[in-house]
Copies of this chain bind each other. A is one copy, B any other.
Amino acid sequence: MLDDRKLAVLRAIVEDYVSTNEPVGSRALAERHNLKVSPATVRNDMAALEEEGYITQPHTSAGRVPTDKGYRLFVDRLSQVKPLSGAERRAIETFLAGAVDLDDVVTRTVRLLAQLTRQVAVVQYPTLTRSTVRHVELVPLHDRRVMLVLITNTGRVEQRVIELPEVVEDTRIAHLRAVLNASLDGCGLLNVPDQVADLPERLPVEDRPVVATILSVLLETLVERHDEKIVFAGAANLAGADFSTGLRDVLEALEEQVVLMRLLGETSTDTPSTLTVRIGSENPFLRGTSIVATGYGSGDNELARLGVLGPTRMDYPVTMGAVRAVARYVSQILAAS
């Protein structure tokens, strides 16, 4: 049905359309990509491709434009991820290496990705639920207040001020801290509830109200932050592009954590290095946009996702290369710290 030359024609159409943003006609095609056949032949192939739904023409007597299905075929079979240049790799490395803490890593990553792809970049903060406890700290503030600080192996820090039911001396606080750390150190966040379930019973009766208060806040913190934080950058890159769905919708989606989450895709348990590409109508919302995303994380388990969002008419090979490269470097950085 689709011989090699027809595929070559489709690839040429996608490439030309992406670079010129204008429907591409048979003559220009035959000339620019030395196909060694005449425009008439190209026209026949185009008719076949259109028949199959890979391309379409906006108006009669206009050139052809790829459909979502056409882009899909292009991404799956006709293109290769384009690796970054050496200079770009080095730039990424040095830029990310300068980060001082997790916040900084995420901020730098999202900006970097936006600049690299000239599109909107989206980065999800590493998921708490897959991290482990590195340290729990109880800081006496004054009166009956203590601050609970939870540090995870991904460098994330959560803190809460707790109002205790009674005045507690610092030494007791120190003891509680030791107990908490003894049972939680290195524990996966998902297992924390189980680990601390019998803790009050193992302590003297007089400590139980205090411990109960602290634990309830601790558990609450875990649950609350389950709705993950997502940041984006590069909205200015939307200004040029035209979206079928309207710029407003895109901007709104970017500020809706929930929608962004869905767009980035479910956090898969696959190896994090696989790239997800959702093209146009394949997206749950924002059917006029495409998304290239992948997971990242230290080692083999995927901690969170990152990707870019742009018009359906985007340079997929380049974008995919950038996303993949950035994800790898971030993973490295996180593993090292």
Tell me the A residues contacting B by CB distance below 8 Å.
100-101, 111, 134-135, 137, 139, 141, 147, 149, 151, 155, 157, 159-161, 224, 233-236, 238-240, 246-248, 251-252, 254-255, 337
Name the B residues within 8 Å of A252 (CB-CB): 236
SS of A interface (majority): mixed
Contact at B224–A248, with CB atoms within 8 Å?
no
Name the B residues within 8 Å of A161 (CB-CB): 155, 337
| B137, B224, B235, B337: the one within 8 Å of A251 (CB) | B235
Contact at B233–A251, with CB atoms within 8 Å?
no
Name the B residues within 8 Å of A157 (CB-CB): 149, 157, 159
Give complex CA distance A252, B236 in Å: 5
How many identical subunits does the complex contain? 2
Give complex CA distance A238, B248 in Å: 8
Name the B residues within 8 Å of A234 (CB-CB): 255
Contact at A151–B139, with CB atoms within 8 Å?
yes
Contact status of A239 and B224, CB under 8 A, knowing A160-B100, A161-B337? no
Name the B residues within 8 Å of A238 (CB-CB): 251
Contact at A236–B255, with CB atoms within 8 Å?
yes
Give complex CA distance A74, B65 in Å: 52
Contact at A141–B149, with CB atoms within 8 Å?
no
| B139, B160, B248, B251: the one within 8 Å of A101 (CB) | B160
Name the B residues within 8 Å of A236 (CB-CB): 248, 251-252, 254-255
Task: Name 28 interchain pairs, CB-CB below 8 A, sorted by A.
Answer: A100-B224, A101-B159, A101-B160, A134-B141, A135-B141, A137-B137, A137-B149, A139-B149, A139-B151, A149-B149, A149-B159, A151-B159, A155-B161, A157-B157, A157-B159, A233-B255, A235-B255, A236-B248, A236-B251, A236-B254, A236-B255, A238-B251, A239-B246, A239-B247, A239-B248, A239-B251, A240-B248, A247-B247
